[in-house]
Amino acid sequence: MENRWIMLIDMDAFFASVEQYRNHPELIGRPVCVGHDPKKGNGRGVVRAVSYEARAYGIHSGMPVSKAYRLCPEAAFVNGEFSNYVVASNEFMDVLREYSDEGRLRRASIDEAYIEVTEGTCEYGNPIFLAQDLQAAVKQETSLPCSIGIAPNMSVAKIAAGMKKPRGITLVGPNPRDIIEFLAPLDVQALHGVGKKTAARLKDFGIQKLGQIQKMSLTELWPIMGKSSKWLLNRASGIDTRPLLDNGPRVRKSISKDKTFMKDIDPDLPEIINNYIVRICKKITKKLHMKELAFKTVTVKIRYADYTTVQRSRTIPRYCDDIHTLSSIACNLFDQNRNPLKAIRLIGVKVSSLHQISNQMTLTQYL
């Protein structure tokens, strides 16, 4: 089978990060617990989420707030509002949708999702570049940090995402041997689906690491795991053929395409960038026509070699779907907003304020 690229994007300490980076910037860098007021150690209830700074004191989610208070009396206790997390989650998923292959976003929980980026990787050349841009875009659009695991399938991507938290990017594969080596030293519980009970049973038979399972045959594993043996053998070796079925929000809010340059483009050569902008606009227009959509807003993103990024938008009074309008607005935005002294790493174009223009509607417009 042709190689796929799957990413699992997981927000870092999600609830606590929303409190720090969106609701209470004064709490950035401080230990934060989401949960009830500890009332100086006499409060009731449990901590629901913990910032990385608070984790350093040994506080974890599910711990009574009274105990958390004793471990770190100077921690900020915030009674979080769930609706804030839902809003942040939706914004996060919107960014992922822009980077995922068409119809390939699988929401796994409020703060994590799988996306397929097999096609996207062809454009970027390397999935790491795509992940870096995605991570920067999530930060820019939601203010929140995330970690990314990249692998040829969902199971390995999930494990990879947890390797370098917070703000990590971990790539595993595509060579099956690299995947085997990556998994071998890990505890059996690293596999999503192996809980405490299964781990305890495996331990009774002296099995604690995935590498041990990799070396076993189905007949050897069967007396221990029964019907789950095949599944466990496959997952321990990083084999997971499940297709990534889309369950994300369906409404398309924007279409965007980026181009990251293999070598930064000299600021004296804006015409090279203009050529790329036209090429990007052609691709976007093709997609607009396929989906029978028209746009009103055009955004151009310029990322410089030093990773600073500017975005500028223009909204036109009428819906439009032709390449000439799009590319002239985009090139214009670029010319007017570029810094003539800085080399460019990435250029991107996005159309938004979309509107469906089905045949039916065109007909009614004529009537």
Residues in the chain, total: 367
- Nearer Cβ to Mg ion (8/172): 8
Name the catalytic one among 112, 119, 141, 271: 112
- Nearer Cβ to Mg ion (158/345): 158
Q: How far is the CB of 59 from Mg ion (least distance, A)?
A: 16
Indicate if 74 belongs to the active site: no
Please, which residues bridge with residue 115 across strands?
A: 7, 105
Please, which residues bridge with residue 171 across strands?
A: 150
Q: How far is the CB of 28 from Mg ion (least distance, A)?
A: 18
- Nearer Cβ to Mg ion (108/357): 108
Helix ranges (H only) for 111-262 are: 118-124, 127-142, 154-161, 176-183, 196-204, 210-214, 218-225, 229-236
Asked if 68 and 48 touch (Cβ cutoff 8 Å), the reply is no
Q: Which residue has the tokens 């004793």?
A: 70
| Structure letter (DSSP) for residue 248 | S
Dist. CA 150–CA 155, nearest whole Å: 10
Q: How far is the CB of 247 from Mg ion (least distance, A)?
A: 18
Structure tokens at 329: 């607005």
- Nearer Cβ to Mg ion (11/105): 11
Q: How far is the CB of 141 from Mg ion (least distance, A)?
A: 17
Asked if 148 and 9 touch (Cβ cutoff 8 Å), the reply is yes
- Nearer Cβ to Mg ion (111/240): 111
Dist. CA 151–CA 287, nearest whole Å: 27
- Nearer Cβ to Mg ion (11/221): 11
Q: How far is the CB of 75 from Mg ion (least distance, A)?
A: 20
Which residues in this chain contact Mg ion in the complex, by CB under 5 A? 10-11, 14, 111
Residues 6+ apart with CB under 8 A from 92: 9, 11, 111, 113, 138, 141, 142, 144, 146
Fill in the amino acid letter for 85.
Answer: Y
Q: How far is the CB of 112 from Mg ion (least distance, A)?
A: 6
The packing angle between helices 82-99 and 127-142, to 10°, is 150
Q: Which residue has the tokens 């810094």?
A: 339
Dist. CA 182–CA 177, nearest whole Å: 9
Dist. CA 221–CA 210, nearest whole Å: 13
Residues annotated as catalytic are 112
